Amino acid sequence: MLAVVCEAAGVLILVGACVLAAAAWVYLLIGHGGFWRTDVRLPKLDEAADPGHWPSVIAVVPARDEATILPETLPTLLGQDYPGPFSVVLVDDSSTDGTGEVAQALALAAGMHFNIANEYRKAWNLQKTFFWQLTWRAPEIQPGTLLLTAQLPFTYYSDNSLSAPLNWVYAPDLKSTQMPYLVYSLESRLGNSLPDLLAEIPIQQPYRATEFTGNTSQALGIYFIPPGCVRVLDQQVDRKLPARLAPVNRIVPLSDISRIDLAADPGAVPPLSIFGSGPAHDWCYDFEKADLARQQGDWGQVAKIADHALKSKPRLYEANAPELVTYILGYAHTGQWKKAQVLTQEAMQINVQMKDMLCYNWRQIALHTQKDAGQQAAIAAINSQLRCSP
For the stretch 324-346, pLDDT in tens is 999 999 999 999 999 999 999 99
Of 264, 343, 260, the closest CA to residue 303 belongs to 343
CA dihedral for 215, 216, 220, 221, sign (positive or negative):
positive
- Assigned domain for 87 exists: no
**Which residues, including other chains, have CB under 8 Å from residue 265's CB and lie 6 or more apart?**
139
Largest CA distance in the chain: 124
Q: Are residues 273 and 301 in the same domain?
A: no
- Assigned domain for 294 exists: yes
Q: Are residues 307 and 297 in the same domain?
A: yes
- Give the pLDDT confidence score for residue 251 in this predicted structure: 93
The whole-model pTM stands at 0.80
- Assigned domain for 37 exists: no
Cβ contact 218:184 at 8 Å: no
> Facing residues of 183 across strands?
147
Look at residues 248, 279, 310 and tell me which one is the last residue of a structural domain. Answer: 279
With bands split at pLDDT 50, 70 and 90, how would you rate the model's confidence at 83? Answer: confident
- Give the pLDDT confidence score for residue 15 in this predicted structure: 77
Q: Using the predicted structure, report yes or no on whether residue 361 has a pLDDT greater than 50.
A: yes
Q: In a 10 Å sphere around its CB, with 0-12 CB exposed, 13-18 middle and 19+ buried, how is residue 261 labelled?
A: middle
Q: Are residues 156 and 269 in the same domain?
A: yes
> Facing residues of 37 across strands?
none
| Order of strands, sheet of 202-207, starting from the edge strand that comes earlier in the sequence | 178-179, 210-215, 202-207
Q: Are residues 184 and 205 in the same domain?
A: yes
- Give the pLDDT confidence score for residue 244 in this predicted structure: 78
CA dihedral for 285, 286, 292, 296, sign (positive or negative):
positive
β-strand pairing of 178-179 with 181-185: unpaired
- Give the pLDDT confidence score for residue 6 in this predicted structure: 52
Write out the H or E segment, with its range, that includes residue 183: strand 181-185
Look at residues 279, 308, 325 and tell me which one is the last residue of a structural domain. Answer: 279
Of 193, 120, 131, 205, the closest CA to residue 162 belongs to 131
**In 313-351, which positions are buried (b, 16+ CB within 10 angstroms) versus exposed (e)?**
ebebeebbbbbbbbbbbbbbbbbbbebbbebbeebbebb
- Work out the mean pLDDT of the chain and round it to a whole number: 89
- Give the pLDDT confidence score for residue 2 in this predicted structure: 45
Measure the CA–CA gap between 87 and 78, rounded to whole angstroms.
Answer: 8
Q: Are residues 242 and 191 in the same domain?
A: yes
Cβ contact 136:234 at 8 Å: no
Q: Using the predicted structure, report yes or no on whether residue 10 has a pLDDT greater than 90.
A: no
How large is the C-alpha radius of gyration of the chain?
33
Q: What is the DSSP letter of 201?
A: -
pLDDT, mean of residues 52-72: 90
With bands split at pLDDT 50, 70 and 90, how would you rate the model's confidence at 150? Answer: confident
**In 96-133, which positions are buried (b, 16+ CB within 10 angstroms) versus exposed (e)?**
eeebbebbeebeeeeeeeeeeeeeeeeeeebbbbbbbb
Structurally, how many domains does the chain consist of?
A: 2
- Assigned domain for 146 exists: yes
Q: Are residues 259 and 293 in the same domain?
A: no
Write out the H or E segment, with its range, that includes residue 91: strand 86-92
Q: Are residues 292 and 313 in the same domain?
A: yes
Look at residues 229, 257, 279 and tell me which one is the last residue of a structural domain. Answer: 279
- Give the pLDDT confidence score for residue 154 in this predicted structure: 85
Measure the CA–CA gap between 115 and 121, rounded to whole angstroms.
Answer: 10
- Assigned domain for 106 exists: no
β-strand pairing of 231-232 with 86-92: unpaired
Q: Are residues 133 and 264 in the same domain?
A: yes
Measure the CA–CA gap between 381 and 385, rounded to whole angstroms.
Answer: 6
Q: Using the predicted structure, report yes or no on whether residue 35 has a pLDDT greater than 60.
A: no
Measure the CA–CA gap between 11 and 17, rounded to whole angstroms.
Answer: 10
Instruction: Give percent of the chain above pLDDT 70.
Output: 91
Measure the CA–CA gap between 170 and 283, rounded to whole angstroms.
Answer: 24
Q: Using the predicted structure, report yes or no on whether residue 130 has a pLDDT greater than 70.
A: yes
* Residue type, position 162, single letter: L
- Give the pLDDT confidence score for residue 155 in this predicted structure: 81
For the stretch 268-312, pLDDT in tens is 999 999 999 889 999 999 999 999 999 999 999 999 999 999 998
CA dihedral for 166, 170, 176, 179, sign (positive or negative):
negative
Q: Are residues 136 and 271 in the same domain?
A: yes
Q: Are residues 287 and 261 in the same domain?
A: no
Give SS3 for 145: strand
- Assigned domain for 89 exists: no
Domain that holds residue 176: 123-279
Q: Are residues 198 and 325 in the same domain?
A: no
Measure the CA–CA gap between 317 and 154, rounded to whole angstroms.
Answer: 20
* Residue 305 belongs to domain with CATH number: 1.25.40
Cβ contact 168:205 at 8 Å: no
For the chain, give percent helix, strand, coil, nearest 5: 50, 15, 35
- Assigned domain for 8 exists: no
- Assigned domain for 90 exists: no
Q: Are residues 272 and 323 in the same domain?
A: no
